[in-house]
């Protein structure tokens, strides 16, 4: 069982999250940081024919969507779903910060539906592999 709280002492959440979630669960599922790669290891949103890697344009929306699809697949493999997430941590490359604030958040809302898990969004200098602009880790609770 999961219940969210928005304490009056805290400001209203400014995004797609809740301040607090209280969980009573049979099992916890910990999902490692997921990257925007498909099952064959191809990076989403990157033109693989582009040989000038230091000037390439990367489609952040495509990367966010693929990362959430990977997260969803990982959760489903463990018998959980997006609605079971109780902690969601997102790492975004600093150069994509402005775009993530608009496009990335829009895709996040689309992929999470009504789920509003607490978590953190952290801007970082870079991720591994270098073409990844986002990484998402999660904890889910199954009743």
Q: Which two tokens stand for residue 23?
A: 């969980």
Most confident range (mean pLDDT) of 67-71, 97-101, 107-111 is 67-71
pLDDT of residue 97 exceeding 80, the answer is yes
Judge whether 45 and 62 are in contact, CB under 8 Å.
yes
Helices 105-112, 60-77: crossing angle, 10 deg rounding: 30
Condensed to tens digits (0 to 9), the pLDDT of residues 55-80 reads 568 999 999 999 999 999 999 999 99
Mean pLDDT for the stretch of residues 114-132? 94
pLDDT range class, residue 54, cuts 50, 70, 90:
low
pLDDT number for residue 82: 95
Element (H, E) at 70: helix 60-77
Tokens 């000038």 sit on residue? 52
Residue 13 or 116, more confident: 116
Question: How many other C-beta atoms can be found within 10 angstroms of the C-beta atom of residue 30?
Answer: 11
Domains and CATH numbers, the chain: 2-142 (3.30.1330.40)
> How is residue 95 annotated by DSSP?
G
Whether the predicted model's global pTM rises above the 0.85 cut: yes
Q: Which two tokens stand for residue 57?
A: 């344009």
Mean pLDDT for the stretch of residues 121-138? 96
């Amino acid at each position: 069982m999961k219940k969210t709280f928005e304490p009056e002492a805290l400001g209203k959440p400014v995004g797609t999250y809740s301040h607090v979630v209280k969980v009573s669960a049979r099992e916890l599922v910990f999902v490692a940081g997921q990257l925007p790669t498909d099952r064959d290891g191809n990076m989403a949103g990157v033109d693989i024919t582009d040989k000038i890697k230091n000037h390439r344009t990367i489609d952040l929306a495509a990367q966010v969507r693929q990362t959430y699809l990977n997260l969803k697949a990982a959760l489903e493999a463990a018998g959980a779903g997006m609605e079971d997430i109780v902690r969601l941590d997102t790492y975004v490359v600093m150069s994509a910060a402005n775009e993530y604030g608009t496009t990335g958040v829009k895709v996040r809302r689309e992929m999470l539906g009504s789920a509003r898990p607490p978590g953190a969004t952290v801007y970082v200098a870079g991720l591994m592999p270098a073409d990844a602009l986002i990484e998402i880790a999660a904890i889910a609770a199954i009743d």
